[in-house]
Chain A
Amino acid sequence: MYLFKKKHAEIPLKRINSAVDPMQDDEDLYFSAKVEGYWTTIFKRFCRHWYGIAGLIVLAALIFCAIAAPVLTPYEYDKIDFSAAPMGQPQPPSREHLFGTDRLGRDYFTRCLYGGRISLLIGFSAVAIQLLIGIPLGCIAGYYRGIADQLICRFIDFFSCVPSTFLILLVNALLKPSMFNVILVLGVFGWTGYTRFVRSYFLSLREQEFVQAAKAAGLKERTIVFKHILPHTLTPLILSVSMGIGGAILSESGLSYLGLGMQEPIPSWGAMIAGAQEYTNSAPWLSVFPGLMITLTVLSLCFIGEAFRQAIDPRAN
């Protein structure tokens, strides 16, 4: 993979065999090779997969809705309006309330949007923390052998031999349930996967010639690690990052479902589903909409990840 600075430069290959006098060849057919930037080829292959694009569009739409929530709906997410829910009965979807109302008369469409905000925020920030912890540790473990590697491996064993779902539940039950705690817990318990991934990649790349060459050229170790080896590991990492975000969103909604995640009146999809369980017969839409939103978000993330993976090494498929 060439990482030429000049994109789309047309570099005739003639110059390579300069030993022989340049031949006068009118048919340039065999030798012209447009050299595209690495990422543009990836993106071109990415667009060939319809589900990749579909995922991108859906995710973009969800993020837009989450951010532009105040503009999209006139209601606030915690505005109680008893007229909209006479006798505590949630109302079906109608013109003013797109997704209907919940038992306190709050507009359900607004709550779904703001719930999206919470879930996406938790998903992205939890994975960000995981990456922040995981990747540096992976680099250190992978590159500098010796005690650092051993220490980190034992640390990974410690975390991986603990049942993470169990511990996430435990810590959340003990801490005061709030968004920050959920992010912290999901972040702290998920990073071992990335460390293991980066470390194994580093181990295989360390022996490669280009690293020896860089070392021979006298580059400082830090530049070798971050400028040469790391870019190689990032691209295959994208898939597990997108799946990780999906996973974080799912576990957040699972926690809220058990009442350990977000507390009222902050809307979260998991809590809305838990609340809606009571009305499955009389008001089924209360549980359908948030469930759909969770599935759509996680699905689009998975599709993007998969399409990207296939774009990186088409041979794999």
Chain B
Amino acid sequence: MSLLEVNKLNIGFQGGDGLMNVVTDLSFDIEEGKAVALVGESGCGKSVTALSIMRLLICPPAHMEAESILFEGKDIQQIPERHMWKLRGNDISMIFQEPMTSLNPVTTIGKQLTETIRQHTGCSKKEALAKAEDMLREVGIPEPKQRLREYPHQMSGGMRQRVMIAMALSCDPKLLIADEPTTALDVTIQDQILELIADACRRRKMALLLITHNMGIVAEAADEVMVMYAGQIVEKASVQEIFDTPMHPYTNGMLRAIPGTAHTGEEFYVIRGRVPSPLFFSKACRFAPRCDHACERCHKEAPQLQDIGGGHYIRCWNPIKGGNANE
């Protein structure tokens, strides 16, 4: 029984001229201790999906409804807002993209850490401080005792992301949602943070939902990959299969676009056109206008996500058979 199961999730935004449907009929599930990557261009609705699971979307502009979101079998949509805090941070916790603004600038790191710990475990201030110190040491921050008294602006971006991770892990959650944790950091720090997250998940047997647009990170950290485009999952498979045999033209195009030494001298491959705004999603396959392999049917009928063998799901009438990424 999977840890998290999302069925027919729909998210829309109250735009000036009506409800803009950003995510349509999204369903996926995450096993216990598995690392799943959610990949897609910015604007395809991946971080919105993550936020909707934790119900952090501010509802007046946003509008969310799903058939069911089961976490350990229980539908978390039924939990009233008053009790949601028991779930957040304790069972599911989240790391955000922008470390510079994700920490409260006017309160000390210590206070922000102990706040979470005492909220969920209800232990005394002293114990919470000790626990916070351990967490900081675990995420690799030097002299944690001194750091507790400091303010966020006295730390670098990477350091702050580590604090975020410590905060997220402080109550041993079962699922960690990382919304592009490394995008805002420079490359050298990225690997350390990724490694940190991967170790933590493995050691604590914690499920990980990694949201990113960088295929490199996916290869390193994820077991299973879901490629999203224009609010739909277009391809879902294990990491190995995605990189070896990208069946969906969009995934294929993405992998080809990664500049590698193998293609020196050639012109970069670019998927033409841009992600359309949600108002202009076509009824049929949403990638059709930009797809090189689009056949007549693609423009008429909307494909469904089907399993074409071995757990490899595709939403395409004309998938690329056996196509190799760097063919």
**Which residues from chain A sit less than 8 Å from chain B, CB to CB?**
17, 19-20, 23, 25, 27, 29-31
- What separation, in Å, do the CA atoms of A17 and B271 have in the docked complex? 10
- What separation, in Å, do the CA atoms of A19 and B270 have in the docked complex? 9
| A29 contacts B267, C-beta separation under 8 Å | no
Q: Give the interface segment out of B156-164, B165-173, B231-239, B272-280.
A: B272-280
Other-chain residue from A17, A23, A27 in contact with B270 (beta carbon distance below 8 A): A17
Q: Output the nearest chain A residue to B268 by Cβ-Cβ distance.
A: A19
| A30 contacts B267, C-beta separation under 8 Å | no
- Is residue B289 within 8 Å, beta carbon to beta carbon, of the partner chain? yes
- What separation, in Å, do the CA atoms of A29 and B274 have in the docked complex? 12
- With an 8 Å Cβ cutoff, the count of chain B residues facing the other chain is 8
**Chain B residues positioned under 8 Å from A31 (CB to CB):** 273
**Chain A residues positioned under 8 Å from B272 (CB to CB):** 17, 20, 23
| A30 contacts B273, C-beta separation under 8 Å | yes
**Chain A residues positioned under 8 Å from B273 (CB to CB):** 30-31
| A20 contacts B270, C-beta separation under 8 Å | yes
**Which residues from chain B sit less than 8 Å from chain A, CB to CB?**
267, 270, 272-274, 276, 280, 289
Other-chain residue from A17, A19, A20, A30 in contact with B289 (beta carbon distance below 8 A): A30
| A25 contacts B289, C-beta separation under 8 Å | yes
A-B contact pairs, 15 of them (CB 8 A): A17-B270, A17-B272, A19-B267, A19-B270, A20-B270, A20-B272, A23-B272, A25-B289, A27-B289, A29-B280, A30-B273, A30-B274, A30-B276, A30-B280, A31-B273
**Chain B residues positioned under 8 Å from A20 (CB to CB):** 270, 272
> 8 additional contacts, CB 8 Å, given A25-B289, A27-B289, A30-B276?
A19-B270, A20-B270, A20-B272, A29-B280, A30-B273, A30-B274, A30-B289, A31-B273
Q: Output the nearest chain A residue to B277 by Cβ-Cβ distance.
A: A30
- What separation, in Å, do the CA atoms of A31 and B272 have in the docked complex? 12
**Chain B residues positioned under 8 Å from A27 (CB to CB):** 289
**In the assembled complex, how far is the CB of residue B114 from the closest CB belonging to chain A, in whole angstroms?**
36
- What separation, in Å, do the CA atoms of A146 and B263 have in the docked complex? 53
Q: Output the nearest chain B residue to A25 by Cβ-Cβ distance.
A: B289
**Chain A residues positioned under 8 Å from B280 (CB to CB):** 29-30
**In the assembled complex, how far is the CB of residue B229 from the closest CB belonging to chain A, in whole angstroms?**
15
- What separation, in Å, do the CA atoms of A25 and B289 have in the docked complex? 9
**In the assembled complex, how far is the CB of residue A247 from the closest CB belonging to chain B, in whole angstroms?**
34
**In the assembled complex, how far is the CB of residue A312 from the closest CB belonging to chain B, in whole angstroms?**
17
**Chain A residues positioned under 8 Å from B276 (CB to CB):** 30
Q: Output the nearest chain B residue to A27 by Cβ-Cβ distance.
A: B289
**In the assembled complex, how far is the CB of residue A41 from the closest CB belonging to chain B, in whole angstroms?**
14
**In the assembled complex, how far is the CB of residue A236 from the closest CB belonging to chain B, in whole angstroms?**
23
**Chain B residues positioned under 8 Å from A29 (CB to CB):** 280
Q: Output the nearest chain B residue to A16 by Cβ-Cβ distance.
A: B274
Q: Output the nearest chain B residue to A314 by Cβ-Cβ distance.
A: B16
- What separation, in Å, do the CA atoms of A310 and B221 have in the docked complex? 45
**In the assembled complex, how far is the CB of residue A143 from the closest CB belonging to chain B, in whole angstroms?**
28
- What separation, in Å, do the CA atoms of A123 and B135 have in the docked complex? 63
Q: Output the nearest chain B residue to A21 by Cβ-Cβ distance.
A: B272
- What separation, in Å, do the CA atoms of A27 and B267 have in the docked complex? 28
**Chain A residues positioned under 8 Å from B270 (CB to CB):** 17, 19-20
**In the assembled complex, how far is the CB of residue B165 from the closest CB belonging to chain A, in whole angstroms?**
31
Q: Output the nearest chain B residue to A29 by Cβ-Cβ distance.
A: B280
- What separation, in Å, do the CA atoms of A17 and B270 have in the docked complex? 9
